[in-house]
Structure 1
Amino acid sequence: MTTGLDARSTASVVSLDGTCPHGRERLGGKAHSVNRMRALGLPGPPAFAITTDVCARYREAGLPDEVWAGVVDAVRVLEADTGHRFADPASPLLVSVRSGAAQSMPGMMDTVLNLGLTPAAVEGLAEATGDRAWAQDTDARFRRSYAEVVDPAGPPEDPWEQLRAAIGAVFRSWDSPRARVYRDRYGLDHDAGTAVTVQAMVFGNRDDASGTGVAFSRDPSTGEPVLYGEWVRGGQGEDVVSGTVTPVPIASFADEMPTLHAELVEAATVLEAEYRDLVDIEFTVESGRLYVLQARAGKRSSTAALRVAVELATAGLITRDEALGRLTPEQARRHLEASATTGGETVASGIGAGPGVASGVVVTDPDDALDADGPVVLVRPFTAPDDVPAMYASVAVVTEHGGTTSHAALVAREAGLPCVVGCGDGIVAALEGRTVTVDGARGVVLDGDVTGEAGPHATTAWESTLLEWTGAATPADLPDRLGTS
């Protein structure tokens, strides 16, 4: 680490090298996880963070000069770590600029990837790698991301101007309508602010031995203790979480790259023990090398919340009291309501991404969901972060594209909304205006309202353990017992 960055490391720009002493409140969840992973020796690109306290200062008067000076020093450290130089056309260092609040708010704030490209740098990358198509694809991704997040006119020629503007855009996204709606729903502090994480890029779109994915240490819908997730060969992270691409199950990653899959399983095991919880991991493979980019406690269904707490306590990672303290009567009620349907004609099928059953009239415009008087099912080609208020106004969500780790799935699971993703082209037009039932456990959309046709509830081994701990006679008694245990 350079002397300049050391001098400021107690202030607002800090290196995430595994030794940063700041906690989640100052670093934000994303940066805090990067620092923890570096301390654990897990493979990840070098990074630094601008702390959460700067967010309020930026909102009042822009980015302070001393903070920008610290950013410049921190970029020099990334250059030393990577062997590339920022704003050097011959061997450019490219970075991601990402948000990260203390409490996870997935998809609610903004990210810019591949920042630092200029026409000259694109030529430099093409010449250095001999792969002009990759250089041009990376440039197109950057320009699209920058225009959507920072400035519709596109990026300036100076990478330093790009970086300063992107940092400001990420801070401003703290106050976006979708972020405020999310915080209102979950009772989060509007004044807490976001940190900004700047990390050296690794490229899942680099070649045939590259890709990106999201993995969970356990199934976030059911809680089953197996590595769960999805993977896109030749893609970058936004391809997975945006839902514009339907990825393949993580089992395909195991088939295609078994050694790297084994490394990912080991990383998930280490991180679950570190977090003492189900973890959500973003990863990228560049030319056959695995990088772990982020880890956090994963969003999960109510069923998964109950099962994971019980099984972590049974395994000794947390105490019985900690397990019970993590659980709520509402989670128990949602778990009991999530029984799959047994009847009805299937009108669409995809991937079950949020368990539960709900019926309503299909709307395809977010504004119609917000204006509806009765229960509605939001059906979209894919959901964008700006659709979150409409998702919260709906009883279920269905998409044509995307997978179980997409933005739609994460939001739906956390909110307890039945969700089916990846149903295929044409579903929006086919279902508009119809009354349907969404069965998020089976991954089907059924004609009409068949919510009363639920199958029997068989008590599982983990439920039996929870009944014993709480003194409940049956699963139906759990909401009351969890409220008093």
Structure 2
Amino acid sequence: MTKKYIYAFAGEKTDGKADMKNLLGGKGANLAEMASLGINVPPGFTISTDACVYYLKNKNKLPPKLWNEVLAQLADLEKTIEKKFGDSNDPLLVSVRSGARVSMPGMMDTVLNLGLNESSVLGLAKKTQNEWFAFDTYRRFISMFGNVVLNISGESFESILEKEKLKRGIKFDTDFSVRDLKAIVKKFKALVLRETKKKFPDDPMKQLRMAVEAVFSSWNTDRAVVYRKMNGFSHDWGTAVTVQSMVFGNMGRTSATGVAFTRNPATGENKFFGEYMINAQGEDVVAGIRTPNSINQLEIEMPEIYQDLVSVYQKLEKHYKDMQDIEFTIENQKLYLLQTRSGKRTAESAIKVAVDMVDEGLINKREALMRVPADQLDQIFHPMIDPKAKLKILGKGLGASPGAAAGKIVFTPERAQELAKNNEDAILVRMETSPEDILGMSVAQGIITAKGGMTSHAAVVARAMGKACVSGVEELNVNSKSKQCRLGGVKLKELSHLTLDGSAGLVIDGLVPLIQSRLTRSFTRMVTWADDVRTLKV
């Protein structure tokens, strides 16, 4: 019998389910589960981790007949969506996304908007009556594919964008005109030709195969290997690849994209928590390209969509009996769910969520105790700023991960590692963090970013590591080349002393005295349960 490598998800035609994470990865398994629950998920299919393991063990060769299976699934997807992949009139575009059995935020690769070329972009513009959207989507695809698949530095594409903004005196990508976007597409393609000595691939089928293989290969990138070592994950698992029909948050003022948590991942408060951006795609929120809006604002801007989102998150939390981290896109006033997973949270949040869920009857006390990993417990005692201390506040951002930290400013992850080797405390200051910063983030005492919100890469990773983090300090100007930054009218050079309060979102001049935080009522209750159950290993 031929081994099954591909599992579809499309409403009733769904093969997988939530307990198949080892085979479908967390993303693929949960997409299948959501589709089975009747939640509006863009249809697609997931190529299993077994295919990745085969590929990596056989010198980057796909399993026999796998590609025929991919083409058959793609044909089924075309029928479901009623669009043709690569069509010049009304093209089906897909995302190609990684997904391991455990959450590894940003450590592996994703390509969005795949299937565009010089012909299909015109069809997309004509079909949607939105030329700006079509060429914005095309420039996004070229830069992402160029970075992930063709190994061209993402900074090279970003540098072109920044120069074009400066030339035109604009601040955001959304301020570009159609003519601007067409010029940027040409410059991006010229960059690809210059760097690879080849033209950007126009054949959608070739694009798809190259992207699938690139995502498989991303399992073994340096950052992914480092992250697995840090967290004790096996190198043998491999990643699944999910190929999913695209929905677009960048179609104008009636479209948006966002990330949300069913409870506060920093404090555990039972309150819907998240962020979104109008006229944007998912990577804009996570990468911290601009500071997003609080999810509460969505209730004002799109009240019906907000209520739909609330219904979905409540359904998911009750189903999974755990705090969920969800990704969503709104395309022309229609809500789609792109992901759900158990949300990464601080120790304080983990304890409060677990205790509250016992009170709500969702889980029992033994399950609650198992929700707080023993190695996370030391985070409960994270320091806080001494209330008696006098503070010279330089700036304010978002309190992205609680606790306080003090140390010497560094602007690169490498310098943070150098200080750590000398037992010196480092505060990593960046415009925004990326997955490549993971080693520096792991040894820094705290993290400050100029861009990004509460669901940006810096915020999510800092909370998981128990690091204090302040994100979205909009007045902060960082120049890592000259090893200095400017904030609150003060120029700060590398190794200057700085303190941050990740709870209040404050950046403070100098070294401020820190004290141990107070234990919460939820922690005290959990300790009494541990005595009852007698299984907690502290």
Give the TM-score category using the shorter length.
over 0.9
The secondary structure found in structure 1 opposite 2:230 is helix
Is 1:318 matched up with 2:385?
A: no
Where does 1:353-364 land on structure 2 (aligned, <5 Å)?
353-364=400-411
Report the counterpart of residue 252 of structure 1 in structure 2.
Answer: 297
Aligned with residue 518 of structure 2, among 446, 452, 457? 457
Query: Does the CA-based 8 Å contact 2:470-2:505 persist in structure 1?
Result: yes
1:27–1:195 Cα contact (<8 Å) kept:
yes
Task: Tell me the distance in 2 between the aligned counterparts of 1:323 and 1:94.
Answer: 42
- Equivalent position of 1:143 in the other structure: 142
2:329 matched residue in structure 1: 284
Assess, with a 3 A threshold, how the Cα gap between structure 1 residues 459 and 365 changes in structure 2: closer, same or farther: closer
Of residues 403, 407, 426, the one that matches 1:376 is 426
Alpha-carbon shift at residue 360 of structure 1 (Å): 1.0
Task: Determine which of 209, 216, 223 is the counterpart of 1:178.
Answer: 223
- Backbone CA RMSD of aligned residues: 1.9
Tell me, yes or no, if the aligned pair for 1:341 and 1:439 is still in contact at 8 Å. Answer: no
Shift of 1:14: 1.4
Structure 1: 5+ residue stretches without partners: 1-6, 473-479
Equivalent of residue 20 in structure 1, options 2, 5, 15: 15
Indicate how the Cα distance of structure 1 residues 193 and 329 shifts in structure 2: closer, same or farther if over 3 A, else same. Answer: closer
Q: Distance in 1 between matches of 2:16 and 2:41?
A: 19
**Equivalence for 2:278:** 233
Which of 401, 413, 416 is 2:451 aligned to? 401
Going from structure 1 to structure 2, the CA distance change for 1:396 and 1:65 (only over 3 Å counts) comes to same
Residue-pair matches, total: 468
In structure 2, what is the equivalent of residue 448 of structure 1? Answer: 510
1:86–1:470: structure 2 CA closer, same or farther, 3 Å change rule?
same
User: In 2, are the aligned partners of 1:155 and 1:162 still within 8 Å (CA)?
Assistant: no
Moved more, 410-419 or 144-153: 144-153
- How far apart are 1:337 and its partner, in Å? 2.0
**Structure 1 range deviating more: 342-351 or 188-197:** 342-351
Q: Deviations over 1:165-193 (max 9, x none)?
A: 00011011100111111101110000100
Rounded Cα–Cα distance in structure 2 between residues aligned with 1:172 and 1:403? 30
TM-score by length of 2: 0.84
Once the two structures are superposed, residues 403-444 of structure 1 have per-residue CA deviations (whole angstroms, 9 ceiling, x without a partner) of 110111111110111000000143431244221112111111
d(CA) in 1 for partners of 2:425 and 2:373? Answer: 25
Q: Does the C-alpha gap of structure 1 residues 213 and 432 become closer, same or farther in structure 2, counting only changes over 3 Å?
A: farther
Provide the secondary structure at the position in 1 that maps to 2:45. Answer: strand
**What is the Cα deviation at residue 482 of structure 1?**
4.3
* Equivalent residue number for residue 158 of structure 2: none
Give the letter for the 2:214 counterpart: A
1:189 partner SS: coil
Partners in 1 of 2:280 and 2:469 — Cα distance? 24
For residue 30 of structure 1, the aligned residue among 27, 30, 33 is 27
Q: 2:255 aligns with which of 199, 210, 220?
A: 210
2: distance between equivalents of 1:11 and 1:113? 26
Shift of 1:21: 4.2
8 Å contact 1:340–1:441 — kept in the other structure? no
User: Given the superposition, is the C-alpha separation of residues 138 and 21 from structure 1 closer, same or farther in structure 2, using an over 3 Å criterion?
Assistant: closer
Q: CA deviation at 1:157?
A: 1.0
1:449: Cα distance to partner? Answer: 1.9
1:470 corresponds to which residue? 530
Q: Residues of 2 paired with 1:129 and 1:357: CA distance?
A: 49
Of residues 16-25 and 193-202 in structure 1, the stretch that sits farther from structure 2 once superposed is: 16-25
SS at 2:322 equivalent: coil
SS at match of 1:119: coil
Tell me whether 1:48 sits opposite 2:45 in the alignment. Answer: yes
Residue of 452, 458, 469 corresponding to 1:419:
469
Aligned residue type for 1:424: E
CA apart distance, 1:78: 1.3
Shift of 1:207: 1.8
AA aligned opposite 1:441:
S
| SS of residue paired to 1:264 | helix
Structure 2 residues without counterparts, runs of 5 or longer: 153-191, 193-198, 479-484, 487-491
Pairwise mapping of residues 379-394 of structure 1 onto structure 2 (< 5 A)?
379-394=429-444
8 A contact 2:381–2:519 mirrored in 1: no
Superposed CA offset, 1:270-294 (max 9, x none): 1111211110000000000000110
Paired letter, 1:24: K
Deviations, residues 136-168 of structure 1 (Å, cap 9, x unaligned)? 101011011111101143741100000000001
SS at match of 1:436: strand
SS of aligned partner of 2:77: helix
**What residue number does 2:4 align with?**
11
Q: Which of 44-53 and 426-435 deviates more?
A: 426-435
The 1-side partners of 2:386 and 2:328 are apart by: 35
Residue of structure 1 in register with 2:124 after alignment: 125
Structure 1 length normalisation: TM-score? 0.92
Task: Name the CA distance, whole Å, in 1 between partners of 2:493 and 2:113.
Answer: 38
Deviation at 1:195, TM superposition (A): 0.2
Give 1:437's aligned residue: 499
Aligned match of 1:477: none
Partner SS state of residue 91, structure 2: coil
Secondary structure at the aligned position of 1:26 is classed as helix
